[in-house]
Amino acid sequence: MVQETIFSRIIRREIPSDIVYQDDFVTAFRDISPQAPVHILIIPNKIIPTVNDISEHDEKILGHLFTVAAKIAKQEGIDDSGYRLIMNCNKDAGQEVFHLHMHLLGGKNLGKLVE
Ligand code: DGP
């Protein structure tokens, strides 16, 4: 049994969030604690807790996360200036919400990947 997180409630629009894109497979919304001028989370509607839980059946949906990321980057006007896509997995990466999510960050120079 996969555990629901707050993100399932965002997907079902039971709690308020700034959703910038949604279709049958993924939802994208602005991060509550933005680390850059553009900070959007892109998540599968299906619960996959971490990258470790991805299976071959998920490959199509994960590919779709990237297509949607590129679409949103264009929508936000940062496709040419550039952006970073990050997925944190477990403790050392600081994963806080155990519903797989891609961070889309941009709108400023993001510096080095790891300080
Ligand atoms: P991570 O550390 O990779 O698990 O990132 C989780 C992100 O989720 C973190 O940047 C803050 C964001 N977040 C957590 N709860 C909420 C929420 O209720 N609404 C929104 N919009 N973002 C949230």
CA distance 104 to 108: 12
Q: Ligand 1 centre and the CA of 101: distance in Å?
A: 9
Question: Looking at residue 15, what is its pLDDT?
Answer: 97
Say whether pTM exceeds 0.95.
yes
Domain boundaries defined on the chain: 6-106
CATH placement of domain 6-106:
3.30.428.10
CA distance 34 to 45: 21
The mean per-residue pLDDT over the stretch 75-79 comes to: 98
Q: Ligand 1 centre and the CA of 80: distance in Å?
A: 26
The per-residue b/e assignment along 81-107, b for 16 or more CB within 10 angstroms, e otherwise, is: eebeeebbeeeeeebeebbbbbbbbbb
Whose CA is closest to atom 18 on ligand 1? 6
What are the residue numbers of the active site?
Answer: 101
Query: Helix or strand or coil: residue 44?
Result: strand
pLDDT tens per residue across span 25-40: 999 999 999 999 999 9
Ligand 1 atom nearest 18 alpha carbon: 21
Question: Looking at residue 29, what is its pLDDT?
Answer: 98
CA distance 54 to 94: 18
